[in-house]
Amino acid sequence: MSDAGFHGVFPYLVTPVDDGGTIKKDVLAKLCDDLINRGVHGLTPLGSTGEFAYLNNQQRRRVIEIVLESAGGRVPVVAGVASTTISDAVSQARDYEKLGCDGILAILESYFPVSDDGIYSYFEAIARAVSIPIVLYTNPNFQRSDLSVATIDKLSHVNNIRYIKDASNNTGRLLSIINRVDGRMQVFSASAHIPACVMLIGGVGWMAGPACLIPEQSVRLFDLCRLGKWAEAMNFQRQLWGLSQAFAKYNLAACIKGGLELQGYPVGAALAPQTPLSSEGIAEVKEALCSIGAL
């Protein structure tokens, strides 16, 4: 699938794994198919909700194969690439492009702090290694080395770095990025932000785990924003916000996996050593889903 411009709702897919470490193909394939049939605009495997940090390279590659096969070209697949080293990240990106991915979600892992020059070199190397579009991902709540606005601006001049998903909780920072990159890069909302507000200031959609649980509602919200029906969009956004609050409160993957289990998808618990969703968390997610007709 060619890039006509990524936009809309891209669920961060969970990774169902059995007790032996094998990716549960049937479960993941059904989730992908159901999400596409419910109108999502793309799929993002191996994001934070996909537990990329708890998978080995073989498991990651298998996830990509299953998602690509399930998508069948119906929507773009933007695969997460994460590493502490440039060489490994480049190798992953090249492999995923060869498999057929439509874009790369580039994530920097680090143990020691990395300078702005080092951060730039990491993302630029990934972009130069492939011909498909790059989505930068930054989440200062979980990452040791964050992307500064100045570094984002510098990276926006690399031809195929076209998007950024910023999970900083700081909507003002998003507006600073939009102003700074001057159309060279488009912004996706994260669940840490209020998607309707991000769309209002110029965002093109959102990439987030909760969309796995409420795909139809997420698409409806996007459509209202795209049509400029802001009062209706904000009213609907308020109804959906309870799920985002639960997502922020509990372990990301555990929260979405718990919700999917409630919806009948046997995705299992969050991968060890993460903590499974507590009984209180299950009750909160259930309440949020019931309140918006998603359960």
- Supply the CATH number for residue 53's domain: 3.20.20.70
Under a CB-based contact definition with an 8 Å cutoff, are residues 28 and 70 in contact? yes
Cα–Cα distance for residue pair 170/235, rounded to 1 Å: 22
Token pair listed for 177? 């990025």
What's residue 1's pLDDT? 43
State pTM to two decimals.
0.95
For 180-192, the pLDDT digits (tens) are 999 999 999 998 8
Residue 162 lies in a domain: yes
What's residue 3's pLDDT? 45
Residue 257 lies in a domain: no
Residue 146 lies in a domain: yes
Token pair listed for 112? 């020691």
Does a cis peptide bond (omega within 30 degrees of 0) precede residue 273? yes
Residue 262 lies in a domain: no
What's residue 113's pLDDT? 86
Residue 132 lies in a domain: yes
Residue 284 lies in a domain: no
For 88-143, the pLDDT digits (tens) are 999 999 999 999 999 999 999 988 889 999 999 999 999 999 999 999 998 866 66
Domain span including residue 18: 8-233
What's residue 53's pLDDT? 92
Residue 294 lies in a domain: no
Query: Domain tally for the chain?
Result: 1
CB atoms within 10 A of CB 111: 8
Residue 31 lies in a domain: yes
- In tens digits, the chain (295 residues) has pLDDT values of 444 689 999 999 999 999 999 999 999 999 999 999 999 999 999 999 999 999 999 999 999 999 999 999 999 999 999 999 999 999 999 999 999 999 999 999 988 889 999 999 999 999 999 999 999 998 866 666 789 999 999 999 999 999 999 988 889 999 999 999 999 999 999 988 999 999 999 999 999 999 999 999 999 999 999 999 999 999 999 999 988 888 888 888 999 999 999 999 999 999 999 998 999 999 999 999 999 999 9
